[in-house]
């Protein structure tokens, strides 16, 4: 590990020199690439330098302990050795996590698709609650939310809502939200007061740039039609709704939220690119049979990942057996405790996998 860290520190210094080269400074694109690589290495190098400083102090303290000392000074040295040993172990663990391969999508914006599952109107209302939860979380993170497509119900829920969350690191924080979310509560529509179980599915896709997913115009079939609202009533007098079909894959995306046909088309293409990118990644993962999937969750749409139990005020994430009794706060966007626990569990699993590979 130390050899790898020394090499990364050298690379960091080399990038530093390159970035001050007048030729590089006059080439904005190359400078941006080098600056990103330099920034990506910054945290690792800073942590490695801290680790090296602690290791040197520890070696010095241990050396002093080998010489005869008076009782008070020896006791002080022993305390210092204990403190520095703990710090060295902590920094070593942090460095191991920082050296794990980074998900190339982590810094991307995300497209989130929330769909009502089993449970009729109650499932649609729950889908609406999930949309609000993610919107509130995005607000706390100072990220921007933009609805791309929605299919509202008369009671105020959603059969389906698709939205983009724009902000640095959005995918790294939200990627474990994909799967089936289950709610247990007495529906507002239920007079008898019985607890119902309903579900909604969430899909979190990294937003794909045009350069990553290039779509030829002749691969698309574009239909325009009149928008409709809850109950099927027409909400627009012009044919502004757009349905885009990607002929090679058969994927279909429809958008009708905007009054402008052009804006609806742009939003539909944004969703289509994300779905194609997700499909491409899923195929690549299948081909890499040797790569083991994280135990935190496969991100499969059919996997039940979380239960929101209203009578007990409880939220349980089944993948990591985490239960919190703060349902209201979670539904109001307080997701950090769950997200941090999922990220930590994923890191532990990947460290285990790395260790298994090295022992094989």
Domain locations in the chain as residue ranges: 2-98, 110-207+292-350, 217-286
CA distance 74 to 301: 60
What is the largest distance, in Å, between two alpha-carbon atoms of the chain?
A: 93
At residue 293, the pLDDT reads: 45
pLDDT of residue 325: 97
What is d(CA 332, CA 135) in angstroms, rounded to the nearest whole number? 9
Q: Judge contact between 148 and 162, C-beta under 8 A.
A: yes
Pair 136, 171: CB distance under 8 Å: no
Which percentage of the chain shows pLDDT scores above 90? 44
- The predicted model gives 339-350 an average pLDDT of 91
Model confidence over 113-140: pLDDT tens digits?
999 998 888 999 999 999 999 999 999 9
- Taking 80 as the threshold, does the pLDDT of residue 299 lie above it? no
Confidence of residue 359 (pLDDT cuts 50, 70, 90): very low
Q: For the chain, where are the alpha helices, taking DSSP H only?
A: 2-19, 22-25, 28-65, 71-98, 120-140, 170-174, 261-287, 327-331, 336-359
Question: Tokens 């005020």 — which residue?
Answer: 313
Spatial distance between the Cα atoms of 298 and 4, rounded to a whole number of angstroms: 30
6, 97, 107, 132, 319 from 343: Cα distances, Å: 27, 11, 15, 22, 12
Interval 308-327 mean pLDDT = 95
For the chain, percent of residues with pLDDT exceeding 70: 88
For domain 110-207+292-350, the CATH class is alpha beta
What's the CA gap between 270 and 251, in Å, rounded? 13
Q: What is the rounded CA–CA span in Å between residue 75 and residue 336?
A: 41
Whole-number pLDDT of residue 240: 83
- Please tell me the distance from the alpha carbon of residue 243 to that of residue 250, in angstroms, as a whole number: 12
Residue 302, pLDDT above cutoff 50: yes
pLDDT digits (tens, 9 = 90+) for 174-205: 999 999 999 999 887 666 678 889 999 999 99
Cα dihedral sign for 308, 309, 312, 313? Answer: positive
Q: What's the Rg (C-alpha) of the chain? A: 26
Is 216's pLDDT higher than 80?
Answer: yes
Mean pLDDT of the chain: 86
State the pTM of this model: 0.73
Residue 110 and residue 205 in contact, taking contact as beta carbons nearer than 8 Å = yes
Residue with tokens 């740039």: 209
- 292 pLDDT band (50/70/90 cuts)? very low
Classify domain 217-286 by CATH number. Answer: 3.30.160.20
> Do 153 and 147 touch, CB atoms closer than 8 A?
no
């Amino acid at each position: 590990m130390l050899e790898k860290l020394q090499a990364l520190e050298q690379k960091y210094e080399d990038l530093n020199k390159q970035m001050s080269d007048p030729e590089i400074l006059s080439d904005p694109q190359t400078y941006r690439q080098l600056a990103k690589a330099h920034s990506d290495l910054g945290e690792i190098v800073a942590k490695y330098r801290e680790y090296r400083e602690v290791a040197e102090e520890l070696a010095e303290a241990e050396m002093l302990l080998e010489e005869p000392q008076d009782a008070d000074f020896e006791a002080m040295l022993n305390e210092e050795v204990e403190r520095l040993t703990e710090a060295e172990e902590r920094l070593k663990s942090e460095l191991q996590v920082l050296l794990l391969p980074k998900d190339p999508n982590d810094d991307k914006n995300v497209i989130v698709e929330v769909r009502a599952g089993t449970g009729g109107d109650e499932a649609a209302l729950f889908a609406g609650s999930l949309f609000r939860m993610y919107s509130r979380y995005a607000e706390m993170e100072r990220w921007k939310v933009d609805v791309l497509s929605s299919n509202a119900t008369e009671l105020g829920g959603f059969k389906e809502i698709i939205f983009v969350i724009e902000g640095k690191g959005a995918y790294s924080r939200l990627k474990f939200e994909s799967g089936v979310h289950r709610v247990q509560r007495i529906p507002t529509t239920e007079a008898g007061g019985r607890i119902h179980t309903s579900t909604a599915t969430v899909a979190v896709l990294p937003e794909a740039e045009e350069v990553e997913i290039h779509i030829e115009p002749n691969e698309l079939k574009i239909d325009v039609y009149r928008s409709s609202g809850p109950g099927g009533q027409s909400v627009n007098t012009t044919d502004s709704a757009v349905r885009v079909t990607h002929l090679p894959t058969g994927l279909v995306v429809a958008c009708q939220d905007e009054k402008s046909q052009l804006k609806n088309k742009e939003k539909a293409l944004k969703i289509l690119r994300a779905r194609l990118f997700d499909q491409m990644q899923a195929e690549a993962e299948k081909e890499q049979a040797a790569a083991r999937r994280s135990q935190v969750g496969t991100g499969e749409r059919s996997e039940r990942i979380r239960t929101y139990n209203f009578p007990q005020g409880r939220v349980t994430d089944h993948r990591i057996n985490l239960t919190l009794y703060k349902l209201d706060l979670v539904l109001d966007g307080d997701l950090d405790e769950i997200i941090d626990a999922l990220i930590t569990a994923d890191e532990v699993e990947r460290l285990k996998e790395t260790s298994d590979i090295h022992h094989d």
